[in-house]
Amino acid sequence: MKPLPLICLAAAAALAFASPRVPAADQWTGAGQRQAGAAVSWDDLSHTKWIADGRDDAPRKVYVFMDANCKYCTKFWSDARPWVNSGKVQLRHIMVAVIAPTSAGKAAALMVDPDPARRLYSYEQAHAFGVVRMMAGGPRHSWEDPNLQPMQAIPAAVGRTLQDHEQLMTALGLSGTPGIVFRGLDGRIMARGGLAPQEMTMVLGAL
């Protein structure tokens, strides 16, 4: 049998690894999305030490694994303002420490604050403009913030909680931040590693 030319073999390999395009209408129901592992439930997420961002009576709840030194987390926070401010979505931020040496200390400072929601809002608001400008090609943004100094001695309970959060993030198949977890139209738990601006309505709904 005559061997196939190399160009034919290369084309066959490319076809074998190609993924079909998923219609946008199907993405909400899980096609093209990473589904959460069977061991992770919505109840598991609700029992984490999350920080609220938005109204408690918002009809849609979305969990966000975030690192205080994550520029993409701040960009998502900024992009989500119209949904949060309108009362349609409550973001529930689950702190992790996966990016920089100061991440754990900053997360701990937020988590032990008497009003963590207010503290997180102030921190993200203070950095949002600089991060968005940097990501558009502007000057480098500094994460040093006198209003959120990293805790030097992290309480043991907080350290364990951060470890639990990171393990849960891994169980959901997420390897970085922001890790966005939501329910699809069919009720299944979906996890996404970040969102492009044009994908926001797919997760947060229509404005």
19 belongs to a structural domain: no
- The 10s digit of each residue's pLDDT in 66-94 is 999 999 999 999 999 999 999 999 999 99
CA distance 35 to 157: 30
80 belongs to a structural domain: yes
Integer angstrom CA distances of residue 194 from 73, 176, 180:
8, 9, 6
156 belongs to a structural domain: yes
User: Which pLDDT belongs to residue 145?
Assistant: 87
154 belongs to a structural domain: yes
Q: What are 184's two structure tokens? A: 């699809």
User: Which pLDDT belongs to residue 184?
Assistant: 87
User: Which pLDDT belongs to residue 118?
Assistant: 97
Helix (H) or strand (E) holding 75: helix 71-79
Q: The domain containing residue 52 runs over which residues?
A: 34-200
8 belongs to a structural domain: no
CA distance 38 to 20: 25
User: Which pLDDT belongs to residue 22?
Assistant: 32
- The 10s digit of each residue's pLDDT in 39-59 is 789 999 999 999 999 999 999
Residues of the chain with pLDDT under 50: 1-38
CA distance 126 to 157: 28
User: Which pLDDT belongs to residue 28?
Assistant: 36
162 belongs to a structural domain: yes
Strands 60-66, 89-95: pairing kind: parallel
Residue corresponding to tokens 């034919």: 8
166 belongs to a structural domain: yes
- Domain CATH for 164: 3.40.30.10
CA distance 203 to 190: 9
12 belongs to a structural domain: no
**Structurally, how many domains does the chain consist of?**
1
